[in-house]
Amino acid sequence: MSTPRLTKSTIAVLEVLLASTDDAPAWGLSICRDADLGSGTVYPILDRLEERGWVSSRTETEPHPGRPPRRYYTLTNTGRSLAAGALEARRARQRHVLRWAGGQA
């Protein structure tokens, strides 16, 4: 399983997925809203994460008149672990850089 490039947009999507639960699942437009990103950014990220095995998706089965079925996205167990680890490693690097920059001032 390869690690995707952790752009700001990818990080925003991962954070939304990490915050989702079985009781409050994430679907495409909710991810766009919560990550404050457009669908043209979010859906390609979700596709890449699904190709890498970080995310699985399923289509809503209950009919909802007036709208098409939602596609729910969930981090796989491995994806959740890798996402949490990658985000923590990124935060640690940022803290290190901030400490170093602060020490140089």
pLDDT-derived band at 104 (thresholds 50, 70, 90) equals low
Q: What are the extents of the domains in the chain?
A: 8-104
Q: Convert the pLDDT of each residue in 59-89 to its tens digit.
A: 998 888 899 999 999 999 999 999 998 888 8
Residue 12, CB-side half-sphere exposure with 13 Å CA sphere:
16
This prediction has a pTM of 0.84
- Class of 8-104 per CATH? mainly alpha
pLDDT-derived band at 105 (thresholds 50, 70, 90) equals very low
Q: Convert the pLDDT of each residue in 18-57 to its tens digit.
A: 999 888 899 999 999 999 999 999 999 999 999 999 999 9
| Neighbour tally for 31: CB within 10 Å | 21
Q: What angle do CA 78, 73, 80 make, to 5 degrees?
A: 20
